[in-house]
Amino acid sequence: MGASLSHLSSEPTKDKIDPIAVDLRANQEGVGTARTVGYWHHFGDEKTRVEGWVVREIPLVIFVNGQEWVTLMCSPHQLSSLVVGFLFCERVISTTDDIAYMRVCEETGEAEVKLNSNIVLPTRRVLSSGCGGGVGFKSSPEDMPRLNCDLTVESAQVIALARALVQAANVHRLCGGTHMSALSDGEKILVLAEDIGRHNTLDRIKGECML
């Protein structure tokens, strides 16, 4: 579920969101996830100059064992979860025990990861179907391990959880421009992630669960 810049030309949301709380939370995590800018708001035949919130993004360069490996375009918050989840989903690590040292600097947009072993990093890039043309290193979904789970949910539960996801995604409700994903046990949301990249949200959830 994502929103684009069309949000800037649509009718403002009626939900009451505290932008100070959102930006404060973002800055406690690192660089602010959203910022205010001036833009023209169009509604019908009316045009008004306003100040509003827009989502931020940064390039995050990941170094593994001293080698520059990949640059991710992402939202600037909770980057440790994103890095760990990305490393797992690209099969560079299998557990956090594979990591000897990790340093993430949100100000410079760099993540340095030292593994407990020397590995050959994957280099065969696969262009994903994401609207931004995301790149991964997995050759196919079949390369990922299958889930062994007997959990079943009713359609009504899925609808209720989707609504809960939208309500809990504060940055998206504030300014749009982010994708949202969540992990649930069928009754409630356990982990929620927002990012400008839809694939990043899944990596964030996996990393959050591993840390």
- Active-site positions read 131
Identity of the amino acid at 160:
A
Beta carbons within 8 Å of 63's beta carbon, 6+ residues apart: 69, 110, 111, 112, 113
Calculate ∠ Cα 114-128-97, nearest 5°: 25
User: What is the C-alpha R_g of the chain?
Assistant: 19
Identity of the amino acid at 199:
H
Among residues 130, 4, 119, 127, which one has the least CA distance to residue 55?
Answer: 4
Q: Where are the alpha helices (DSSP H) in the chain?
A: 19-29, 79-89, 155-168, 170-175, 198-210
Among residues 112, 38, 33, which one has the least CA distance to residue 68?
Answer: 112
Task: Show the tokens assigned to 180.
Answer: 């949202």
Cα–Cα dist 129/21, whole Å: 34
Q: Which residue has the tokens 């994502």?
A: 2
